[in-house]
């Protein structure tokens, strides 16, 4: 498993088989990036206590919906879901369960328009909407937490990395690090990957969900949003050109991808950060696997397991945890221990 780190990185770069996790080796029948990517959504069920919900107001008269899992801990993990996901997807609940079992509190939040409630403003969410993550972090830091860690999946991973890069020197000292999974940190390349005929099933699902949202927004804001001809959209280039870019202040899809890809800004991050991207991930371009120290900087490490798909890393374990959840917990526990 490739990994890269500078000498300033606070924990060993080589995972080995210590610390409660091992190098990821799925059974033979799961050594397929496509199967790994769809299996958890189809078959995984994660039982978890009902969260305490909260609605957080934004400065532009909108709202973010939060799920809190509190058990009186002094460590908090903030979890950010992926594109067209929400706070109660199995991959979010799986990591929440893993962290709760180790005494952490957990805050899983929903991007604007996600989680079953349409937001009020014409804008919705995108890969560079770090202001919303910043609001969630600032709100959480009003609690009595000694340390706070971030975790993001897919688009939420890019959002997390970009947020940390933008904060860099201004980061609150209680934010001690992050772990991210299946990160399309090269947005243009990932859009190209998902435009391939072999990825059509994924695009159809994304566009179906996004189409329903845009139709609702068109009803609310007919002067701004038009969904005529939406059925002819086939790629993110077309969708982002028509909707994401103009609604969020970008010139076009290329401008949006350029400004919001975390890839070129990893070196600005100033807290220990782990990026885990599987080599068989069908969503990720080659550029989503930065391997040079000059790309990663002093604080970011890449681990690239051979298998795992997109937000997969399936494991049939007695405790019900997936490999990714054990890996995240070991990493975040080690960072929080430095604050005790």
Residues annotated as part of the active site:
154, 281, 310
Name residues whose C-beta falls within 8 Å of residue 212's C-beta, 6 or more positions apart in sequence: none
- The answer to whether residues 87 and 64 touch, using CB atoms and an 8 Å cutoff, is no
Distances (CA, A) of 266 to 83, 161, 201, 210, 330: 21, 7, 31, 29, 22
Angle at 80 between CA 74 and CA 83, to 5 degrees: 170
The Cα–Cα gap between 239 and 234 comes to: 8
Name residues whose C-beta falls within 8 Å of residue 12's C-beta, 6 or more positions apart in sequence: none
Distances (CA, A) of 212 to 125, 215, 246, 254, 303: 15, 5, 18, 24, 36
Which residue, 214, 261, 217, is CA-closest to 239?
214
């Amino acid at each position: 498993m490739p990994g890269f780190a500078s000498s300033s990185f606070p924990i060993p770069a080589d995972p080995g088989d210590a610390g409660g996790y091992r190098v990821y080796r799925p059974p033979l029948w799961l050594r397929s990036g496509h199967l790994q990517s769809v299996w958890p959504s189809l078959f995984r069920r994660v039982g978890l206590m009902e969260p305490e919900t909260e609605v957080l107001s934004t400065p532009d008269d909108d709202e973010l919906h939060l799920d809190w899992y509190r058990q009186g801990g002094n460590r908090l993990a903030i979890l950010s879901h992926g594109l067209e996901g929400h706070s109660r997807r199995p991959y979010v609940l799986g990591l929440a369960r893993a962290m709760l079992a180790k005494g952490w509190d957990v805050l899983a939040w929903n991007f604007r328009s996600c989680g079953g409630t349409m937001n009020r403003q014409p804008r919705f969410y995108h890969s560079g909407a770090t202001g919303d993550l910043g609001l969630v972090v600032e709100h959480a830091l009003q609690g009595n937490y000694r340390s706070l860690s971030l975790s993001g999946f897919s688009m939420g991973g890019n959002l997390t990395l970009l947020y940390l890069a933008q904060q860099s020197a201004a980061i609150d000292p209680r934010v001690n690090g992050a772990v991210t999974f299946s990160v399309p940190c090269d947005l243009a390349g990932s859009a190209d990957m998902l435009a391939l005929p072999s990825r059509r099933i994924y695009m159809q699902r994304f566009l179906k969900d996004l189409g329903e949202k845009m139709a609702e927004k068109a009803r609310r804001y007919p002067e701004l949003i038009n969904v005529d001809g939406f059925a002819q959209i086939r790629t993110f280039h077309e969708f982002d050109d028509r909707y994401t870019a103009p609604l969020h202040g970008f010139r076009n899809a290329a401008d949006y991808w350029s400004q919001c890809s975390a890839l070129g800004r990893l070196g600005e991050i100033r807290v220990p950060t782990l990026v885990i991207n599987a080599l068989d991930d069908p969503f990720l371009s080659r550029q989503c696997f930065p391997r040079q120290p000059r790309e990663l900087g002093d604080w970011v490490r890449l681990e690239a397991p051979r298998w795992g798909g997109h937000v997969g890393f399936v494991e049939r374990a007695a405790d019900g945890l997936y490999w990714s959840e054990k890996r995240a917990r070991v990493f975040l526990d080690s960072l929080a221990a430095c604050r005790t």
